[in-house]
Structures are given as structure tokens and as C-alpha cells.
Chain A
Amino acid sequence: MSAALSDGLSDGDTEALIAERRYEIISKIVSEVVREKRREWTKTDLFDHVFLHKVLGIPIFLALLWAVFQFTFTFSEPFMVMIEIFFGWLGTVAAQNIENEMIASFVSDGVCNGLGSVLVFVPPIFSLFFALAVLEDSGYLARAAFVMDRLMYRMGLHGRSFIPLMCGFGCNIPGIMATRSIESEKDRMITILVNPLMSCGARLPVYVLISGVIFGGGYAAGTAIFCIYVLGIALAVIMALIFRRTIFRGKPSAFVLELPRYIMPTVRSTLIHTWERGKYFLMKAGTIIFGVMIVVWFLTVMPWDATNGGEIIEKSLIAQFGKVIEPVFRPFGWDWMAAVALFFGFLAKEVVVGTYGLLLGGGEEEEAVKDALAGVFTPLTGFAFMAFTLIYVPCVAAVATIYRETNSLKWTIFAVAYLVALAFIVAAIIIGIGHLLGFS
């Protein structure tokens, strides 16, 4: 190793050199002691010929990734509706059968809405984890990391960074935790820092709501959401390159990977893996979101007499608080409600939609919220709001995970600070370019 280093090789080159020599020696020994009757292929070899193909490998991977997202979001949609209907019914029953108005409002709007806004995301989250568990257990995910390595390397990231980043599309928490598989500390730190830019499932309801309002749903709204996802990926690439050339100088380390044999995933192991990942979301994020929704409800209805039980929102505590922080967001054309939604969204991104629901008096009823929001956002300010929601810090649970994984308060604060700064910069650029193009 010292000879290699003295020749001016980087750490990554040295590792590759060591690995190369190791496999040369293995090949030499094997050729001397093992006599093969005939070189024959297994099914694993056959599938690898396709999945690791130099031309078709990446398109096939992207196709399977698209299938995962379709399964996650489209297949789980009716189950989300069922949960919405159930909690809507529960809230109505509670409101009708409780005489005390304040307790009825607490149970109906606070508890049922709060619990409903958490559990409504269980189907997509569990669907995503189920699909990822199938890919992982079958042995394909290791191949995906392999075919993506070349691309990741150009981005200044390690091949193993790919899986944590992909997990980030479901939830940033397991994505950040998955960086444990990256041996190089620099590669791992970069992956942790850019992981929050992968748009997690919790942000999707915000995009769906806002794009539905400003673009009227359909293809235009879908394209806007797709643009936000692409924006997140583009920013992750840019930030990874910046970090690689400034704070974490050097090349990504060599990618040595042993590909497991393909196996048919068993239902039991897949369900266990799904539950192991899903319960974390359910227990941690669930408790936080539920608690926040109760707090938001309280601030929305208090003082009880002045707000007439939450009817006159402008006189509530939350309105007073929102107007204090509104000036920060006013340059982007966002009102105090947006400021409050973003503030509480720091605790959990789903809360942005839930907060709008409570503020606009529609509970979680999407149509009522959409109608009210139509007068709040223009296409430009709405798109900037979506971009800000994507970037401006992950939820508090993800921040706690960053702290736990980096074991450093300094890097945790840095992650939050750079994301907030980036969110303001990107939102300002969007608004600025929009104004130059003549949008209001």
C-alpha cells in the first residue's frame, strides 16, 4: 500500500489496486487447484447478463423503479381513501354524540383529524417498503447499486450511496440509516447531507394539494410534481459535487461488491422486513404528527370565545403567531397561513397539509381546502412553495436521525442550516425568474 501511495495514487485507487491483486491471487490459486469439467451458466448468470447489461441495465432499473412508485402511490390510493373515510365518519360520529362543544371539537378535529392524517400515509409507506423488501430479498437491489455505480461516481458519490438515496424517496429516516453500509466516512457524510433532498413520501401530499390547486389537476399537475422530484435529484447532485470539491475533498472510494445469488423472496421474510421498517415510521413519525396536530388544533381554537370555537381563525393564537413570522416569507408571496404550515412542517411534513386543513376550516376534506387555497397561491408562488417544502429541512425525526448517525451536533446543525439557506435561495430564484418571465 505504501508503495502505491508513494506513486501518487489516491486512497480509492489503492483500494482498487489491493482488490485487484487479491482477486488475481484468488484466480491463480483457483486455476491451479480447481479443475472444471465445463463452464456452465446458472439462472443467476443468465439474469445478470440482462440486469447488469451495459446498455439495458440502467433502463431496466429505471423501469423497475417506476413500477415501485406506481405500486406505492397508485395501488395504495384506495386504501388511503378508506382510511380517510373511516376517520371522517369517526369524527362526525364523535361530533354528533358529544354535547360539550370544546370536547367535541377536540375529539373530531384534533384527535380524529390528527390520527387520520397520520394513518392515511400508512398504505403508501408500507407499500414502498414492501416493494423495496422484495427487490432486496430477491438480490436485485445489489445489482441496482452495481449498475448505478458509474453514474454515482460522476456525481461524486459512492455506488453504495444509491440505495440510501433511493430509500430517501420513501422516508429520509431509513435512507439516512442505510448509509451505515458505506465504509468511507467522507462518502457516508455526503450521502447523509444530500439525502433530505430526496423527496420523501410525506412531502407528496403537499405537492398533490398545491399542484392540484394551482394547475387544476391532471397532466399539468403531474408534470409539476415530477419537476419537483427532478429538482430534488438535481439539487442533490449539485450539492454532492460541491461537498466533494470543498468539504470532503477526494474521489469516492472503490466499490467492491459481492453479488448474492437470486432467490425467490418468501412472503414471511418480505413482510417481516416491511414491518421492521414501517413500524419505525409508524411509531416515531406517528407520535410526532399526532402530537403536533393536537397542538395546532389547540392554537386554532384558542381563545375559545374570541374564535367562536375555531370559527374565526383570524383571532386565534396561531394567527397571531403566523403574523409574527409572516414577514420572512412575504417576499415569496406567501401569507401567514403558509408561514405557520411551513413552521409546523418542520416537525413532520404531513403536518403542512393537516395544518392547512385546520386553518381553512375544512378538516382533512381536500375539496374544501383546495377551494380555499385557490385564492391564496398563484402558479408561481405555489410552485415556489412546493420547492421550499421539498428543501427546507427534513422533519424533526430525520434531523434526530442525522444527529444519531453522524454523532455530531456540528454536522446536524450544518445540515439544517444549509438546507434552510438552499430553500430560500431556490425559492427566490424561482420567484425571480418567474417575475422576469412575466408571471405574478
Chain B
Amino acid sequence: MLDDRMIACVLGGQADRGGGYRRIKEENKMEGFEMGGKIYAAALGALYAVFGVIEVVFVFSGTDALIPADFFGGLVSLVIASTYLAGVRDMRENDFRGIAMLMGGLFLSVVFGVLYLMLMCADFLMYVLGESEEFSVIASLRPEIWLFVAAIPLAYHTWRMLKDVPW
């Protein structure tokens, strides 16, 4: 029988294969993602994990200074951290699936970085409208926004590496 009840057929991208993908091979080996990139990804993952734990712990300790006390935001950071770290684990063995995980982590970094920037703008608008008493850019800059900025060079590097890979 099938794996449980699901049959997935990935269409698209199947018909037009044949171009030379320089990095990604069927035999699950990639032609080297530089050590610096791996360390950078590992550092991002570790920072997401640390900030995620702090955000969750702050909820229960009642602390709220620079790093927000945000239970669900903290859990989201832990998910992003897991994605990065899973990618680093695979990349250590030059497994291309590590790059897939890295892409996933970078994608989530961008999504949540942009989201928190938008929420910061919303907070500023609330202040302008007189609905909140104070607004501080420093206090509003969550760690995830800094980490999003920090992820941009890695995202650019990965994008350049995969630019010939079709959708």
C-alpha cells in the first residue's frame, strides 16, 4: 500500500529537467558549500534558538527588556532554529538536502523579519494615532529583525548558488 493514504505527485519542473545544475546532484552530494557558510548558518540557528528560549522563559518570569516576552514568537524562533540546524547537520556531510533546509530557514527568516518590521510600523502608527503612550525604535527592534538582516548575506550567497536551478 501507499505511505498511509497519501499519494503526492509533484508536477511542474519535471518536464524541463536537463539543464546543468552545477551544485545539486542526484547522489545527494553537493560540490561544496564553503565552511564559512556552514558556520554562519550554524551561528544563525544557534542565535534563533537562544532568543527563542529567552522569549518563552521571559513569559513565565515576567521579564520584558529588549527581548520581548512572547510565548508564540519564541516558539516560532525555535522552529526557525531547528530548520537552520537541521540544514547544518546535513551540510556537514555535503548532503544537498542541507541546502534545502537552509533555504527553508532563510525563507522563514525573511517572512518573520518582514512581518516584525510591518508590526513595528503598525506600532508606530498606533503611537501617531494616540492609541499607545510611547514608541521606541530600539525597544521595537526584536532580535528576529536583527537576525533577518544578518541572514541577508547568506540568502544572497544561496540565491547566487542556486540561480540556475529551475523552479
Contacts and interface: CB of A to CB of B under 8 A. Distances in A.
Given A47-B100, A47-B104, A258-B11, A40 B25 contact: yes
Interface residues of A, number: 57
Max chain A C-beta neighbours (<10 A), residue from B1, B8, B118, B165? B8
A439 interface: no
Interface in B76-132: 76, 79-80, 82-83, 86, 96-97, 99-101, 103-104, 107-108, 111-112, 115, 118-119, 122, 125-126, 129, 131
Interface stretch (A60-68, A325-333, A387-395, A409-417): A60-68
B13 A44 contact: yes
B134 interface: no
A75 interface: yes
Nearest to A59: B79
A263 B167 contact: yes
Contact of B1 (A16, A159, A261): A16
Nearest to B103: A46
Contacts of A159: 6
Contact of B167 (A63, A149, A261): A261
B11 A261 contact: yes
A50 interface: yes
A319 interface: no
A66 B72 contact: yes
Nearest to B162: A43
Main secondary structure of the interface of A (DSSP, over half): helix
B26 interface: yes
Interface in B119-163: 119, 122, 125-126, 129, 131, 162
A153 B107 CA distance: 29
A363 B4 CA distance: 55
A41 B24 contact: yes
A12 interface: yes
Contacts of A49: 97, 100-101, 104
A49 B165 CA distance: 15
Given A41-B24, A66-B76, A82-B129, A75 B17 contact: no
Contacts of B111: 64, 67
A81 interface: yes
A36 interface: yes
Contacts of B36: none
Nearest to B14: A42
Contacts, number: 153
Contact of A19 (B2, B76, B80, B96): B2
A254 interface: yes
Given A71-B118, A81-B129, A261-B12, A46 B4 contact: no
Contact of B166 (A38, A43, A62, A219): A43
A63 B76 CA distance: 5
A42 B82 CA distance: 23
Interface residues of B, number: 50
A60 B79 contact: yes
Given A78-B126, A85-B129, A254-B5, A50 B103 contact: yes
Interface string B59-84: 10000000000001001100110110
Contact of B103 (A47, A77, A150, A258): A47
Given A16-B2, A260-B11, A263-B167, A40 B79 contact: no
A254 B6 CA distance: 7
A45 interface: yes
Given A40-B25, A59-B82, A261-B167, A75 B5 contact: no
A321 interface: no
Interface in B1-23: 1-2, 4-13, 17-18, 21
A275 interface: no
A78 B125 CA distance: 6
B108 A63 contact: yes
Contacts of A51: 104
A78 B131 contact: yes
Interface in A10-65: 12, 16-17, 19-20, 23, 36-52, 56, 59-60, 62-64
A146 B8 contact: yes
B112 A259 contact: no
A115 to B, nearest CB: 20
B100 A46 contact: yes
B35 to A, nearest CB: 21
A267 to B, nearest CB: 15
Given A47-B104, A75-B122, A153-B5, A41 B165 contact: yes
B7 A20 contact: yes
B118 A37 contact: no
20 contacts: A17-B1, A20-B7, A39-B26, A41-B21, A44-B167, A45-B10, A48-B10, A50-B100, A56-B82, A60-B83, A63-B108, A66-B72, A67-B112, A70-B119, A74-B122, A78-B122, A81-B129, A219-B59, A259-B8, A261-B11
4 closest Cβ pairs, A-B complex: A261-B12, A50-B104, A78-B125, A42-B13
Interface of A: 12, 16-17, 19-20, 23, 36-52, 56, 59-60, 62-64, 66-67, 70-71, 74-78, 81-82, 85, 146, 149-150, 153, 159, 219, 254-263
Given A41-B165, A254-B5, 17 more contacts: A16-B7, A42-B13, A43-B167, A46-B99, A46-B162, A47-B103, A49-B104, A59-B79, A63-B79, A66-B76, A67-B76, A74-B119, A74-B122, A257-B7, A257-B8, A259-B11, A261-B13
